[in-house]
């Protein structure tokens, strides 16, 4: 399914023309839909790992420019690899109130949209590995096919329809139907991904919508 096909299908299913569902409006639906899919399932194809160096005395660490969701931060201290624990900002300030005091980092938090907050403030330029989910390029009029539109068209379509019906305050039973269809599509996508992992193509990752497993009769 490409971009123009998605727009046509959304307008046909909702019976709403482009006077209400302009390209710009549906583009916003696509953004929300893609973000929901990426929250609901860790797609291996978007996993990344970046390497950087912390700066001695600097409690801030820049995020990769394409980051959508962080997964872990690991530092190397001598021969030891240490996974930092994620905490909220208020904990960080209470735990390490004096940023000029230095020690081996133990925790991290999100400071702003581009920066992590590290505590304790690093006492060395530790080699850092950051695991994260990258934000894929969105389906659009200039990017007419994406991995998601090609490999997860049902999940994308139903997620967009849910946005469209919520926007128009559509019938609750239709919203429930599309929600059920979306969840089934995500579960199918997760099953396919688990099959690839069993063939040793991928490893790790988490599906946050549980997969259905039929009991043997």
Q: Is residue 208 part of a domain?
A: no
**Statement to judge: residues 141 and 107 lie in one domain:** no
Percent of the chain with pLDDT over 70: 91
Q: Identify the pLDDT of residue 42.
A: 84
Q: Identify the pLDDT of residue 209.
A: 58
- In this predicted structure, the answer to whether residue 98 has a pLDDT above a threshold of 80 is yes
Could you tell me if 175 and 27 are in contact, meaning their C-beta atoms sit under 8 angstroms apart? no
Place 193 in a pLDDT band, splitting at 50, 70 and 90: confident
* Dihedral sign for Cα atoms in the order 177, 1, 70, 68: negative
**Statement to judge: residues 62 and 112 lie in one domain:** yes
Q: Average the pLDDT over each of 39-43, 140-144, 146-150, 161-165 and give the range with the smallest value.
A: 39-43
- In this predicted structure, the answer to whether residue 210 has a pLDDT above a threshold of 60 is no
Q: Is residue 217 part of a domain?
A: no
Q: Is residue 66 part of a domain?
A: yes
Higher pLDDT, 42 or 23: 23
Q: Is residue 61 part of a domain?
A: yes
Strands 85-86 and 107-112: parallel
**Statement to judge: residues 37 and 142 lie in one domain:** yes
**Statement to judge: residues 16 and 70 lie in one domain:** no
Q: How many domains would you assign to the chain?
A: 2
Q: Is residue 16 part of a domain?
A: yes
Mean pLDDT of 3-9: 97
Q: Is residue 21 part of a domain?
A: yes
DSSP output for 56-93: TT--EEEPPTTEEEEEEEEEEETTEEEEPEE--HHHHH
Q: What is the pLDDT of residues 35-86, one digit of tens each?
A: 999 989 888 899 999 999 999 999 999 999 999 889 999 999 989 999 999 9
Q: Identify the pLDDT of residue 51.
A: 96
**Statement to judge: residues 40 and 97 lie in one domain:** no
**Statement to judge: residues 66 and 40 lie in one domain:** no
Q: Is residue 214 part of a domain?
A: no
**Statement to judge: residues 120 and 148 lie in one domain:** no
Structural domain containing residue 104:
47-134
**Statement to judge: residues 88 and 11 lie in one domain:** no
Q: DSSP state, 169?
A: T
Question: Three-state SS for 15?
Answer: coil
**Statement to judge: residues 127 and 147 lie in one domain:** no
**Statement to judge: residues 40 and 58 lie in one domain:** no
Question: Three-state SS for 135?
Answer: coil
**Statement to judge: residues 13 and 56 lie in one domain:** no
């Amino acid at each position: 399914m490409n971009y123009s096909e998605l727009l046509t299908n959304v307008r046909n299913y909702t019976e709403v023309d482009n006077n209400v569902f302009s390209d710009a409006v549906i583009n916003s639906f696509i953004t929300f839909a893609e973000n929901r899919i990426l929250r609901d399932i860790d797609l291996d194809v978007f996993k990344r790992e970046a390497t950087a160096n912390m700066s001695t005395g600097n409690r801030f660490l820049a995020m990769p420019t394409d980051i959508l969701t962080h997964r872990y931060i690991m530092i190397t201290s001598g021969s030891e690899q240490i996974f930092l624990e994620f905490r909220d900002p208020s904990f960080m300030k209470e735990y390490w109130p004096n940023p000029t005091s230095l020690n081996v980092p133990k925790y991290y938090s999100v400071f702003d949209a581009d920066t992590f907050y590290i505590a304790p403030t690093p006492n060395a330029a530790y080699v850092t590995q950051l695991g994260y989910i990258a934000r894929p390029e969105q389906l659009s009029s200039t990017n007419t096919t994406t991995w998601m539109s090609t490999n997860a068209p049902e999940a994308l379509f139903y997620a967009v329809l849910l946005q469209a019906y919520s926007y128009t305050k559509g019938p609750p039973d239709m919203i429930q139907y599309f929600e059920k269809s979306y969840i089934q599509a995500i579960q199918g996508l997760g099953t396919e991904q688990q099959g690839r992992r069993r063939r040793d193509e991928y490893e790790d990752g988490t599906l946050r919508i549980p997969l259905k497993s039929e009991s043997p009769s």
